Structures are given as structure tokens and as C-alpha cells.
Amino acid sequence: MSQYDDLDAAILARIDAGHTQFINIHEGAVLAESRRLADQTGRAAFRVVDGRLQSLRKRGLIEFARGFGWLKRASK
């Protein structure tokens, strides 16, 4: 289990709820968990979230669509 599993789940939940822009994703549980991880890692909270978005994108779970924002990727 990765230290980022809770954050990844929170990010995916925000995207599922229709929040596609970074500013809207980085609220609530995502904000709280990113601050906790930022304290542990020494990185800024928004950098932690950005890194997780990129990780989820590279794993094929989400994609960035210009004009729409972050979207859940349709399973193939």
C-alpha cells in the first residue's frame, strides 16, 4: 500500500463528482490529505496533488482534455 492511496482515491472521487479543474479538485478531503503529505515530504501541497494527477494520468486512469479539464478515462 502506497502512502498516496488515500489521496489518489480522494482525487478520483472529486473527478467522479464532476470537478474537473485543478482548483476544484484541490478542496475538501484532497486538500486535507495533500497538506498531511506535504508536511511529511516537505513539498508544497499543490505540488503533491499535481504529482498525483500526473501519476494517475500515466497509469491511464485519468486524462486531461483541453477545454474540459481532468476526466476519468473510459475503460477499454
CATH fold for domain 5-72: Arc Repressor Mutant, subunit A (1.10.10)
C-alpha–C-alpha distance, residues 16 and 66, integer Å: 18
The helix-helix angle for 5-16 and 45-58 (nearest 10°) equals 80
pLDDT tens digits, one per residue of 7-66: 999 999 999 999 999 999 999 999 999 999 999 999 999 999 999 999 999 999 999 999
Q: What is the CA radius of gyration of the chain?
A: 12
Cβ–Cβ under 8 Å, residues 61 and 72: yes
**What pLDDT is recorded for position 16?**
96
| CB burial readout 30-45, b (16+ within 10 A) else e | bbebbeebbeeeeeeb
Confidence of residue 76 (pLDDT cuts 50, 70, 90): low
pTM exceeds 0.75, yes or no: yes
